[in-house]
Structure 1
Amino acid sequence: MLAYLLGRAGVPVTLLESHKDFDRDFRGDSLHPYTLELLDRLGLADKLLELPHERARQFRLHTPTGSVTTADYSRLPTRFNYVALMPQARFLDFMADEFRALPGCELRTGSKVTELRRENGRIVGVQDIEAGVVIGADGRYSRLRRLADLPAESLGARTDLVWFRLPHKESDPPDADVDLFFGRDHYVGLLTGTQGWQLGYSVPKGGYAQARADGVEPIRAFLDEHVPWLADRTHLLTDFAQTTLLSVDISRVRQWWRPGLLLVGDAAHVISPVGGNGILMAIQDAVAAANHLVPALRNGPVRDEVLAAVQAEREPAIRIVQNDQVRIETRAARARELGRPLVPARLLRLITALPGVRKRAARANAYGPNAPVLGT
């Protein structure tokens, strides 16, 4: 997204992708109303939404004591009053095609960054490429972050997820979109999509080896009890080889930049899957970065204060989101230790008693805190 925004503003960009293509299984498939409105402003939303996708209009919690809709996107005053769920690989292919069509923009696939070029204490490019600024947007295991010696500090994730898929059926509840199903010791996150249901079964941090030793039967039993409409297909989960570990992380780099280099997205701050807003935070990083970098790049190499300004603008929002996630993780871990329900019944009653809470929650999740406005 940042490469596209820079190229759209007339800045020559070389975009390096370490893989040969984007044909792999990503975990984040959600495009929030903010992202769709941004794409609409860029003239891309209608074209993107011609591709297969699902539209989630609610976020719901289910516990043994009741269910509640915590966010209702349909109440938002926007044309895009939903979260579009589209395989991330498809979205990346779409953006890559739009980027390549811009003059002065080149996408190199199968291109791994192995070294940073430095002159007089400043990063001036990678390998054989000179650059007015190098952007590290290479995810939670960022190679550029390591090469620049910008370590990420863990903020205390307490949960991991065992991730797998089950097929859709026509008889599935039509209002099931993005749902969390809570038991006493575990929860399952359920996300609809064009390739079936994605499910994440929670285990304590570092508990994947024990869960693997226990096998898939406890997961099937949890689904049969707490998501009974999936019981007619849980037998399809037969082996742990059908699952993958989503190691939940909440971490942040103290300084997102070095002279000549800027980290954005998960490279700078890893967002947990809670709330499904990792892509949203990364897209907003791209918008804020473009606003600062476009005028700076027109005047030569980017000064340190410009890079620092991107972090200063975005870090408060990231702190709010991550602090909320840490609180949720801590409460869930404490509840497990004490043998209490992960979501107390009184919390459900409180949520349902407050007028307008669904709309406010939807807006908070749809746009995030301090959302930047594209100015270029």
Structure 2
Amino acid sequence: MALALAWLIAMTSGDETRVLSRTTCAIVGGGPAGLVLGLLLARAGIQVTVLEKHADFLRDFRGDTVHPSTLGLLDELGLFERFATLQQSHLTRVSVPGADGGQVVLADFSRLPLRHPYIAMVPQWDLLNLLADAAASEPSFTLLMEHPVTGVIRDGDRVVGVDYDSTVGPGRLSADLTIACDGRWSVVRQSADLPAREFPVGFDVWWYRVPSDSKGDDALLPRIGVRRAAVVIPREGYRQVAELRLKGADPGIRDRGIDVFRKESAELLPDLAVGLAGLSSMDDVKHLDVRVDRLQRWYAPGVLCIGDAAHAMSPVGGVGINLAVQDAVAAARLLARPLREGRLAHANSTRYLARVQRRRMIPTALLQRLQRVIHAAVIMRVLHGKVTTPPPLLGWVLERVPALTAIPAFLIGVGPCPERAPGWARRSS
């Protein structure tokens, strides 16, 4: 109480008044991990506040993949029927062009013994709105939009909340525990000064969408050219393209202009050449600086990082969102009881946070290692002109033993350590 009063006095001076408030768990970032975690903790009866810096969830080229394990989670939470009403397309296969002009199926999700053996392609804002709406029905849940967090509050070496901006001015929120779900450029992660290990990545991604009258296919088809590669994601009414080029190329690409970009992309994607004319300027092409890193320690007294805030993932396989959601489920299951009992407000509470890292570190490290192998063995060889088609032996083996395509499908769609919703969070549809 004395500490709270001291804060209130310190933050009120002159013409500026900073509003002081309190919650049990402050979650920074209203992405999939933040909202799933907030929903789960609220269903445990914990007072939880999610701070999201934007006014809404409407942003292009966020990860739109909802993997089979996340679809199963929505089932467990009683949300799948509502999710099924959202506009979406389903991917059941990942294929690449073969040396003989055919297609080689690398991953076949339909072989997985799951209720939902596919990846659902859904605009992420629709998924986030669904999660936010479900969480809003819980009395202990609060979502603060347009509340960008600017740093953490410390009491000695312990994080005791966050500072934020808002449309009515700056403020601060004290909390027993602060959880960073604010992505690879996490303000909380930087403010808490948690050490990270970064792995080199030699390529970036340029995202754009191409209008298409073709009906949405059920296969994701990477394209390989000379020193070029792209992944074409089928969507209803358009194709979402992720084009891979060498890191550092963005300034030169933008200097050459949209006409050159359309010409180069049409050479790689001749079947989309007509639709590429719809790119009116380089503003239609979004650059993603690909990073792969991992915090050596995901926590400090009073603060925990999960998802991309703890481990930035490559877009390869689209596993980042799935991994972040599973982090959130594990964190909710392991922390709900100590949060409810007030044990995370004490100085020796880091042992509870360490359990989350121990649970999630191995699957994270395995998937990052797999991504880095694909970077070196496939992507960089393509971008340096050493590979233009998959190895013929790979196609030969997969054609004769198609059951092998279930292995990459499992790694992409489920992951090495899938998480199930805790019993207290489950609902019937």
Q: TM class, shorter-chain normalised?
A: over 0.9
Q: Which residue of 2 aligns with 1:333?
A: 380
Cα deviation code 1:13-54 (max 9, x no counterpart): 011111111122242000011001111011001111111111
Question: Matched residue of 2:208: which SS?
Answer: strand
**Aligned equivalent of 1:71, options 87, 97, 107:** 107
Q: Which residue of 1 aligns with 2:360?
A: 314
Q: Which residue of 2 aligns with 1:157?
A: 201
Question: Matched residue of 2:153: which SS?
Answer: strand
Q: Is contact 1:190-1:198 (8 Å) kept?
A: yes
CA distance in 1, matches of 2:341, 2:128: 30
**Aligned equivalent of 1:43, options 58, 65, 78:** 78
Q: Which residue of 2 aligns with 1:33?
A: 68
Q: Which residue of 1 aligns with 2:412?
A: 365
**Aligned equivalent of 1:130, options 150, 155, 174:** 174
Question: Matched residue of 1:132: which SS?
Answer: strand
Q: Which residue of 1 aligns with 2:6?
A: none
**Aligned equivalent of 1:97, options 133, 154, 168:** 133
CA distance in 2, matches of 1:207, 1:350: 36
- 1:272 matched to 2:307? The reply is no
Give the CA RMSD over aligned residues: 2.0
Q: Which residue of 1 aligns with 2:22?
A: none
Unaligned runs of 5+ in 2: 1-35, 164-171, 424-429
Q: Is contact 1:180-1:189 (8 Å) kept?
A: yes
Q: Which residue of 1 aligns with 2:221?
A: 179
- Counterpart residue identity of residue 20, structure 1: A
Structure 1 161/112 Cα, relative in aligned 2: closer, same or farther at 3 Å? same
Compute the displacement of 1:339 (Å).
3.3
- 1:143 matched to 2:143? The reply is no
Structure 1 163/335 Cα, relative in aligned 2: closer, same or farther at 3 Å? closer
Give the length in aligned residue pairs.
374
CA distance in 1, matches of 2:241, 2:367: 23
Q: Which residue of 1 aligns with 2:336?
A: 294
CA distance in 1, matches of 2:60, 2:97: 27
- Counterpart residue identity of residue 192, structure 1: P
If the length of structure 1 is used for normalisation, what is the TM-score? 0.93
Structure 1 290/227 Cα, relative in aligned 2: closer, same or farther at 3 Å? same
CA distance in 1, matches of 2:76, 2:386: 49
CA distance in 1, matches of 2:61, 2:42: 25
Structure 1 21/310 Cα, relative in aligned 2: closer, same or farther at 3 Å? same
CA distance in 2, matches of 1:238, 1:37: 40
Compute the displacement of 1:223 (Å).
4.8
